[in-house]
Amino acid sequence: MPMTGQRFVENGFGKTYAWIDLVNSEEYDGYGFLSDHLTDLSWIKTFLDRWDLRGVRITCADIRHLRRLRNTLRRVAETLAAGGRLSAGDLDNINQALRIPIHRCLLQRRDLSYRLEIVPSRYDSSWARAEILRSLALMLAAGEQARLKICPNPGCRWVFYDQTHGNTRKWCRDFRCGNRDKVRRLRARRAAMER
């Protein structure tokens, strides 16, 4: 079934940052079974549309680059979620990707107010990569890395941004991995009582 914008959000994507969605495009179901969404062209199109990267044409070579970027971003997420800092090399790579030529245009809207819109010189995979990494840079510049977490279920490892007031969320989804953990603990207690 093709991915739609509604299914994209229902499946946990499109909520906080583009870079987190790219990391989670390699999705485990909680039991360790993998779905690689970068093999699904409808998922890629929905991802690009959701993050205003329309007009980017993705080739097979671009998908290989996105996979490498995803692996790098997974490592970055694990570092940040563990309270670590980005290496100088990671910062250099992010800054290098952000150095793409852009144009700025002042546009008039219907209600006579104005906004400044950033328009790329080319709608290509370099621009898409820069925008994905810009979403990481925005999170870091806002000092929000403490809200970045990874589901502790080893069969899941979903990266998420904790939006709870007290930054207390533990599981990717309570109804999925959280419930599974509760069931495991309950069974362990029952087994201990039976001994």
Could you report the per-residue pLDDT of 136-187, keeping only the tens digit for each? 999 999 999 999 999 998 888 999 999 999 998 888 876 668 666 666 666 7
pLDDT < 50 regions, the chain: none
How far apart are the C-alpha atoms of 128 and 108, rounded to whole Å? 25
How far apart are the C-alpha atoms of 169 and 163, rounded to whole Å? 8
User: Which residue, 76, 6, 12, 19, is CA-closest to 51?
Assistant: 19
CATH (residue range 5-194): 1.10.3300.10
Quote the pLDDT of residue 118.
Answer: 74
- For residues 157 and 28, the answer to whether their CB atoms sit within 8 Å is yes
Note the pTM of the prediction, 2 decimals: 0.85
- For residues 181 and 174, the answer to whether their CB atoms sit within 8 Å is no
Quote the pLDDT of residue 25.
Answer: 96
Question: What is the DSSP pairing of strand 114-120 with strand 148-150?
Answer: unpaired
How far apart are the C-alpha atoms of 71 and 63, rounded to whole Å? 12
Domain ranges of the chain: 5-194
